[in-house]
Amino acid sequence: MLTCTACGQGQAEGAGGDGKPQVIAAFYPLQWLSERVAGPDATVVTLTKPGVEPHDLELTPRQAATLGRADLTVYIKGVQPALDEAVEHNAPKTAFDVATAVQTLPASGDAHAHEDEAGQAGHAPTAMEAHDHEDEAVAYDPHLWLDPSRFATVATRLGERLAAADPPHAKAYKDRAAAVSAELTTLDGELRKGLGTCSARAVVTSHAAFGYLTGRYGLEQIGISGIDPDSEPSPARLAEVSRLARQEKVTTIFTEALVSPKVAEVLASEVGAKTAVLDPLESKPASGDYLSAMRANLTTLRSALGCT
């Protein structure tokens, strides 16, 4: 197994030979978190190349078999169906579905309507919710990394999983997990403060990827498409989003780097709004990392929503 994270899918083709525990991260935000928690004690590789939509991941038989040789596979069930199937057959006992570490939101994408204090705090799901994760891979919104408070909980759990997989370095994993959790908590505070004084609260997005972010900070997501970025909005949905955008006096329609902006651009022209890019962090940003990209999102949102 190659160790260069820039090698993308190809890096998960063979078994590692450096003697360190091998961690496979499904796509960028999980790669970033895994690298921060693993530090120098484990080798982290990713399955998804930069610039590739994670939902479109396909695995070769050899890559699927590699999961069985890894010490830990970090993924979110429901994002990448090909990986879900490979985990079930090759790594059922060594995979960490991070969605089981926090309370998830419904797949409707309407986080504003469903968020509560328990959800904001990022508590673990009930037994029934965990069962739902196993049987209905798309019954919840998987974009949980866009809430730093939930992602901080995932960091702690990941530290525990790595400590169990590699006891000689258990303290180091847990210490690094605590450090990155603290960074994410700081980021959460910045977002809460920065988005707490906005004159507008509606966020119109290309697809409903931002429910955790909007729900956490008291905003309201209006997704043109649903959870799946490849889904096409119906004419009725476009008419409804147009109506809501006018009603809420929306000045910005948000697009994404990995999703075609055409529908959003037409909608923006129709309602007299401009467009701006809001990064769902499904792929590695062109520059910086998870933390800097989330802070760039904060700046973008503050400008669009008239925050003081």
Which domain, by its residues, includes 185?
5-191
User: CA-CA distances (angstroms) from residue 87 to 55, 95, 97?
Assistant: 15, 7, 10
Residues 128 and 265 in one domain: no
Residues 49 and 150 in one domain: yes
What pLDDT is recorded for position 129?
Answer: 41
What pLDDT is recorded for position 180?
Answer: 98
What pLDDT is recorded for position 134?
Answer: 40
Last residue of a domain, one of 160, 191, 222: 191
Specify which residues 141 forms β-bridges with: 105
> Each residue of 5-61: pLDDT tens digit?
333 333 444 345 678 999 999 999 999 999 999 999 999 999 999 888 898 899 999
Number of domains present in the structure of the chain: 2
What pLDDT is recorded for position 118?
Answer: 34
Residues 217 and 257 in one domain: yes
Q: Grade residue 109 by pLDDT with cuts at 50, 70 and 90.
A: low
Asked if 45 and 169 count as a contact pair (C-beta separation under 8 A), the reply is no
Asked if 269 and 255 count as a contact pair (C-beta separation under 8 A), the reply is no
- How far apart CA 120 and CA 152 sit, in angstroms, is 12
Residues 132 and 211 in one domain: no
Residues 42 and 101 in one domain: yes
Amino acid at site 10 = G
Supply the Cα-derived Rg of the chain in whole angstroms: 19
- How far apart CA 285 and CA 283 sit, in angstroms, is 6
Residues 61 and 93 in one domain: yes
Residue 180 CB-density burial (10 A; 0-12 exposed, 13-18 middle, 19+ buried): buried
Domain CATH for 234: 3.40.50.1980
- How far apart CA 247 and CA 243 sit, in angstroms, is 6
Prediction pTM value: 0.86
Last residue of a domain, one of 191, 208, 228: 191
Q: How far apart are the first and last CA of the chain?
A: 49
**What residue spans of 48-196 are helical by DSSP H?**
61-69, 81-90, 111-114, 117-121, 127-135, 148-165, 170-194
Last residue of a domain, one of 191, 216, 238: 191
In degrees, rounded to 5, the angle at the alpha carbon of residue 72 between the alpha carbons of residues 67 and 78 is 70
> For residues 120 and 152, which has the higher predicted lDDT (pLDDT)?
152
Residues 219 and 168 in one domain: no
114-135 average pLDDT score: 37
Residues 127 and 245 in one domain: no
Residues 92 and 232 in one domain: no
Residues 182 and 215 in one domain: no
User: Which two three-digit tokens encode residue 292?
Assistant: 């800097």
Residues 230 and 148 in one domain: no
> Each residue of 204-225: pLDDT tens digit?
999 999 999 999 999 999 999 9
Residues 185 and 209 in one domain: no
Residue 264 CB-density burial (10 A; 0-12 exposed, 13-18 middle, 19+ buried): buried
